[in-house]
Amino acid sequence: MNSSKVIAIDGYASSGKSTLAKMLSRHYRIPFIDSGALYRGVTLFVLEKGFLKDNELDTKAFSSALNGLSLSIEPETGDLHLNGKNVSQKIRLPLVSDHVSIVASLSVVRDFLLHQQRQMANECGLVMDGRDIGTVVFPNADHKFFFTARAEVRAKRRYQELKSQGQDTTLEKVWNNLTHRDKIDSSRKVAPLRKADDAIEIDTSEVTTKQVFANLVEKIDAK
Ligand code: DC
């Protein structure tokens, strides 16, 4: 594959997008951007500044604070920096997971991040995962995939991941968060989660990471 390609991976929460995107990034030597981390970073900023009250964003205060919001992803590690501070662990906390879909449904937030995401695709190409990458951010991406998996499989995976990071949670809480986010992400007015017409659907419920990787590489190289 020519190295200046854009690979878009969209799909449901914890369907394996980031794991596979990282593997493709290493394989094709192109940067990987986890766009969900950017939405989580904005959510952390909003929560820390107290701009969200009863799930309502103070749009005026948020918009005027945008000048003071800088987000960057370290290419080597994928760590997210918010105004120079590494917040990679903080953005995975339940408080952020519980509010991120509300914040991500706002057009002022999406407009702000759309611009940043497009700027990240320079001459080396990239692999980006998210919810609207193949439909809105890079509608002309060279390769588009849409990941799905049964909700119980996704919840179990996410639960195990959080436990291994030492987070105090239950399978039920994780399940509720995932299904609630899927609902908000799929039904919002701006850039909802949906499969692009030209995306290839990948169901990761019953296959290993290795099998999915081989499948993706075969499809990318065949194009
Ligand atoms: O990929 P993730 O589960 O960490 O993403 C967190 C949330 O961010 C997700 O529930 C919806 C939002 N998001 C989005 O709206 N658009 C994207 N391109 C990526 C994430």
Position in ligand 1 atom list of the atom nearest CA 104: 15
Which residue is closest in CA terms to ligand 1's atom 4? 36
Determine, yes or no, domain membership for 223: no
Determine, yes or no, domain membership for 222: no
Position in ligand 1 atom list of the atom nearest CA 18: 1
Determine, yes or no, domain membership for 180: yes
Contact (CB, 8 A) for 28 and 126: no
Position in ligand 1 atom list of the atom nearest CA 128: 18
Owning domain of residue 52: 6-203
Based on DSSP, count helices (H) and strands (E) in the chain, helices before strands.
8, 10
Phi, psi of 149 (to 5 degrees): -170, 155
Residue 101 CA to ligand 1 center (angstroms) comes to: 7
Residue 12 CA to ligand 1 center (angstroms) comes to: 9
Total domains in the fold of the chain: 1
Q: What integer pLDDT is reported at residue 76 of this predicted model?
A: 80
Phi, psi of 180 (to 5 degrees): -65, -45
Task: Output the six-digit token pair for 145.
Answer: 């995939």
CATH of the domain at 96: 3.40.50.300
Q: What integer pLDDT is reported at residue 3 of this predicted model?
A: 54
Q: What integer pLDDT is reported at residue 1 of this predicted model?
A: 47
Determine, yes or no, domain membership for 218: no
Position in ligand 1 atom list of the atom nearest CA 188: 15
Determine, yes or no, domain membership for 136: yes
| CA angle (94, 96, 97) in 5-degree steps | 60
Per the confidence metrics, is the pTM higher than 0.85?
yes
Determine, yes or no, domain membership for 221: no
Determine, yes or no, domain membership for 216: no
Q: What's the rounded mean pLDDT across residues 35-50?
A: 97
Which residue is closest in CA terms to ligand 1's atom 9? 101
Residue 132 CA to ligand 1 center (angstroms) comes to: 9
Q: Tell me the per-residue pLDDT of 151-172, one tens digit each, with 9 for 90 and over.
A: 999 999 999 999 998 989 999 9
Distance CA 161, CA 171 (A): 11
Determine, yes or no, domain membership for 194: yes
